[in-house]
Amino acid sequence: MIPHRTIRAGFTIAELLIATALLAMIMAAAALAIQAASTSHEYNSEKARLVAQARGVLDRIARDARKAKSMAVADDHTLVITMPNDDLHSYGRDAANPADLVYIQTVNDVASSSIVLAGCVQTFLVTDQTPACRIQIVLKGTYAEESITATVTPRKWLF
């Protein structure tokens, strides 16, 4: 009679080590892909926020410029727009916090409190190109930076 061999089901230690190594490589690749997607999302979200913020500021300045009686650029690159009713609308960097771009309305020689239009401003450059003004805004965030340039012109008065 031939002795009966018992067959044991299971994996050898070598097979388990190979499976563990493969699983570790797959998990590492997945973690890197998730991290890359997260970083890309953070960059794109911040870039979109900076673009929207810069465009909002330029749109506001352009809207005032279209109604303006005159525009002037101060030495500190502050844009001062004189409206038809002689109110002054000033756009420039905040003296207390230069990273903020502020708007100040002056009515009857009394200035209102400043309104922060944008934070994280790296550059706010206004160049006088009479009768127009060239405005460059550079906003810098943690991950992204956005630069937008526009030329604004007061409307022509026909009287």
Q: Strands of 19-119 (E only): list them.
A: 70-73, 79-82, 88-93, 101-107, 110-111, 115-118
pLDDT at 157 over 70: no
**158 pLDDT band (50/70/90 cuts)?**
very low
| pLDDT tens track for 114-123 | 899 988 999 8
Residue range 118-144: mean pLDDT, rounded:
88
User: How far apart are alpha carbons 96 and 74 in whole angstroms?
Assistant: 18
The predicted structure's pLDDT at residue 156: 60
pLDDT at 66 over 80: yes
Residue range 68-86: mean pLDDT, rounded:
87
**42 pLDDT band (50/70/90 cuts)?**
very high
Return the percentage of the chain with pLDDT > 70, whole number.
95
User: How far apart are alpha carbons 20 and 148 in whole angstroms?
Assistant: 52
Structure tokens at 112: 């209102």
**159 pLDDT band (50/70/90 cuts)?**
very low
pLDDT at 69 over 50: yes
Q: Of 14 and 11, which is predicted with more confidence? A: 14
Residue range 78-98: mean pLDDT, rounded:
89
